[in-house]
Structure 1
Amino acid sequence: MLQTNNSASASKDDYPGRVYFIRHGESTSNERNIFAGVLDVDLTAFGRLQARRAGADIKKKGIKFDAVYVSHMRRARQTCEIALAESQAMKSPDIPVEIDHRISEKSFGIFAGRNLNLLRLALGYEGFEEMLHSHNEAPPAGEKIAQVYGRAASFYDERIVPHLQRGETVLVVCHQYVLEPLALYLSDLPPTSPQTNFQETY
């Protein structure tokens, strides 16, 4: 769950700071095998355990954060709260956890709340993958990957880079379909590049 980008060695930047990313733990929509996207769902008991494990990993590594950013969605905020409580990793108790809507999950439009397996059957495997992973396709009323790429890149440049320039350590807690295009951006790749799926969870 805990991933790091040391910007001193990343292709995108050459700054002395470091940023860590956590994808939220298992949500109730993951457990039910349905699309969540912009639906605001909670963590499951297992998701809370995953968040505690992420916090324990942070503590074991001795990481301390100068800033923390999180999606406004409950599953991300719950993950953040649990991980920070477990790790006690804030450099100061006065540091606020800042919410940024640009790192909220991709909108799956009319697919939100629908069963993944039933949609695969309805669309066919290729149609399903094209709708979800192609840069030029999107579920009806949903977002294209390029749109998420744009808002994630804007967030990173405006909020994270200033911390990295000062040599600070930052935590970002968000979602799979934000982290995937952001990984492309940090690798100096366009949103049209093939994405690496961290997990088959929506």
Structure 2
Amino acid sequence: MVLICLVAVAVFIILSIAPSISQSPSEDDIDGPTDDQPTTGNITLVLLRHGESEWNKLNLFTGWTDVDLSDTGRSQAEAAGKLLKEEGFDFDICYTSYLKRAIHTLDIVLDQMELEWLPVTKSWKLNERHYGALQGLNKSETAEKYGDEQVKVWRRSYDVPPPALDPDDERNPANQEQYRGIPAKDLPLTESLKDTVARVIPYFEEVIKPKMLAGDKIIIVAHGNSLRALVKYLENVSDEDIVGVEIPNGVPLVYEFDSDFKVISKRFLTDQNDAS
């Protein structure tokens, strides 16, 4: 009889606590986003042109030439990182090019923000526009040799590239170590801005944009023309107008988008008003 009573009591206890066990929240019941539930709200993207390079300082055509930052460029990168930290920015993934002036700018920014551990993806598709046979030449001397109008066409037209490199030229990226494994046919010998757009935008659409739509906070540290290509795409700027767009060295450009990836606002971080 005692045994029967003990069994009955045990059954009663189990039945009494079973509802509370069954009511424990499942993964689907927990508030907040999961890996399969992108965050909602506005999307933010930060674009940053590298700090001044040694060849910027010397007024040389740089393109894919892998020159480093000047002292001024390092100071610009430090200032950008401090400002981003002060403004409360945070990132999940960073993107940059294969060129050290952009890579080192990003390194300095992350150091200032105490975010050195963030993942960084480097892609040659974010490189500067390739200036072909003009790379390494002084801009003023080139204008004296070919005429101001011709150099202006090479620099500022949308679809006219400078003279191409010879394939055997040591400046051909196919002959350089950092581009090993990339088919030579994919690497440029010269580029117009139109060519740069055709290189940058598919990479952005296929790699970066899906991360943004999934909720990742992104910074892209790149170059004047590769960022100009992104500005053209993001704002639907015409071919004629994009050639006049200037992106200063070392000044963060902040975009905010709605859930349909339409631009709500943009501003340079040194100015709290919307950038024109």
Which bin holds the TM-score, normalised by the shorter protein?
0.7 to 0.9
Within the alignment, does 1:26 sit opposite 2:52 as a pair? yes
Within the alignment, does 1:122 sit opposite 2:170 as a pair? no
CA RMSD of aligned residues (A): 1.9
Tell me the equivalent position of 2:215: 167
Deviating beyond 6 angstroms after TM superposition, the runs of 4 or more aligned structure 1 residues are none
The structure with more radius of gyration: 2
Counterpart-to-counterpart distance in 2, 1:114 and 1:51: 26
In the alignment of these two chains, the number of paired residues is 184
Q: What stretches of structure 2 of length at least 5 have no aligned partner?
A: 1-40, 165-189, 250-276
TM-score scaled by structure 2?
0.63
Matches within 5 A, 1:1-202: 16-89=42-115, 93=117, 95-141=118-164, 142-191=190-239, 193-195=241-243, 196-199=245-248
**How far off is 1:160 after superposition?**
1.8
**Greater Cα offset, 47-56 or 119-128:** 119-128
**How far off is 1:193 after superposition?**
4.3
Q: What stretches of structure 1 of length at least 5 have no aligned partner?
A: 1-14
AA in 2 matched with 1:32: L
Deviations 1:47-71 (A, max 9, x none): 1111100100110111110110011
Deviations 1:111-158 (A, max 9, x none): 000001111222222211111111221111110111100111112111
In structure 2, the CA distance between the partners of 1:129 and 1:110, relative to structure 1 (3 Å rule), is: same
**How far off is 1:190 after superposition?**
5.0
> The residue matched to 1:179 in structure 2 has which SS?
helix
**How far off is 1:172 after superposition?**
0.3
Counterpart-to-counterpart distance in 1, 2:72 and 2:224: 17
AA in 1 matched with 2:162: P
In structure 2, the CA distance between the partners of 1:28 and 1:160, relative to structure 1 (3 Å rule), is: same
Whether contact under 8 Å (1:70, 1:99) holds in the other structure is yes
AA in 1 matched with 2:198: G
AA in 2 matched with 1:158: E
**How far off is 1:198 after superposition?**
2.5
> The residue matched to 2:153 in structure 1 has which SS?
helix
